[in-house]
Amino acid sequence: MSIHVHWVYVGVMWYAMFDSYFSGAGELINALSYARANPLMRRVKILGREEKLVWIPNDNLRRLIRSLNMIHKLLHKKKKCLLSLTSSSVLVDEEGRGVIQGATVIKYSTEDVCRGYNETSAIVKELIIESVGLEAIGVDCIADFRRLLHQMENVTSIDQEYILSNHASLIPDFNRTSVFHLFHDHIMGKLAHHEPKLKNQIINNLPYDGIWIDIAYSNCFLRNWLNTDRKYKNTGNGHISFNKNVRSSMYDYLPLFSYTQIQVDECLYCEFPDLLLDIEILLWMSGEIEGLGFEDKFS
């Protein structure tokens, strides 16, 4: 027998409350209306490669997706699933988080777990198209976000749920550099000293091995950091060191170049969009992500 849910709300106080009516959500707006009124993605020029345009999620879309995926995760912990989720069931609160109205909760099954994420991916695409058009999720959409949508469409196991709820593509713009430093310091600090084999295993599996210098050199802004007395190797170690140095030194150079921190971070993100996500996945698979405070970076 199914249970009817009036609200399922993820917030500071309220989450996954069944058979109850409560007013913690504040003012709500239909998701499609919200998408029309608030651009969910933006097309950016990459600093140093301005002929290349990339679509990236805005923070409001990231917040919305994560809150919907957290609703699924919290329900699954209670051995429940949502039935036949559509965009008409989704509302958005004043802080841009997703609220589910009038949905039906059914007993847990792996098939329904996967279907729930499939449906949520379809809703997200519908909202993006309504907001900024189909082009935003085409070939010029940033790679890590395309991977998220693809993973949600093709979920095969609940084991993937941590990454879906805490996907690197959903990190707010202002926290991306902070997350990089968090990961870098754990790998090159703690793991390098206490578990060097694991550190090397992670570094050796980073993306862009053997090609990252070519990518950086082809960007006339990042080239400035290559044309120094530092001798970078075209390896994972060299790449993570380069990213660290650009992010750490940019405060010294920004007055000279007249660029903002967000522009520099966005440049690194657009040139190496899979880096943070792959580091996250490698740390998670190694059992090293818990306790880092990573999940706090989504707020």
CB-facing half-sphere around the CA of 101: CA atoms within 13 A = 16
Same domain, 163 and 184: no
Which tokens go with 40? 């969910």
Same domain, 154 and 215: no
Q: What is the number of domains present in the chain?
A: 2
Same domain, 8 and 151: yes
Same domain, 230 and 158: no
CA–CA gap between residue 66 and residue 13 (Å, rounded):
16
Where does a domain end: 121, 150, 170?
170
Same domain, 55 and 151: yes
What's the pLDDT score for residue 146? 98
CA–CA gap between residue 295 and residue 291 (Å, rounded):
9
Q: Which domain holds residue 248?
A: 174-298
What's the pLDDT score for residue 76? 96
CA angle 101, 105, 107 (to 5 degrees): 170
Same domain, 146 and 38: yes
CB-facing half-sphere around the CA of 163: CA atoms within 13 A = 24
Same domain, 166 and 18: yes
Widest Cα–Cα separation across the chain: 69
Same domain, 180 and 292: yes
Q: At what angle do helices 196-204 and 275-285 cross, to 10 degrees?
A: 140
Where does a domain end: 108, 137, 170?
170
Q: How far are the Cα atoms of 5, 21, 108, 140, 157 from residue 18, in angstroms, in the given order?
A: 6, 8, 15, 40, 25
What's the pLDDT score for residue 254? 57
- Yes or no: say if 257 and 48 are a contact pair by the CB < 8 Å rule: no
Same domain, 87 and 149: yes
Where does a domain end: 121, 139, 170?
170
Same domain, 21 and 165: yes
Same domain, 29 and 159: yes
Residue 52 belongs to domain with CATH number: 1.10.510
Which tokens go with 201? 């295993």
Q: Which amino acid is it at 4?
A: H
Per-position pLDDT tens, the chain of length 299? 444 444 444 443 333 343 332 334 568 999 999 999 999 999 999 999 988 899 999 999 999 999 999 999 999 999 999 988 999 999 999 899 999 988 889 999 999 999 999 999 999 999 999 999 999 999 999 999 999 999 999 998 899 999 999 999 999 999 999 999 999 999 999 999 999 999 999 999 999 999 999 999 999 999 988 877 678 999 999 999 999 999 987 656 655 567 788 889 999 999 999 999 999 999 999 999 999 999 999 98
Same domain, 270 and 201: yes
CA–CA gap between residue 167 and residue 199 (Å, rounded):
21
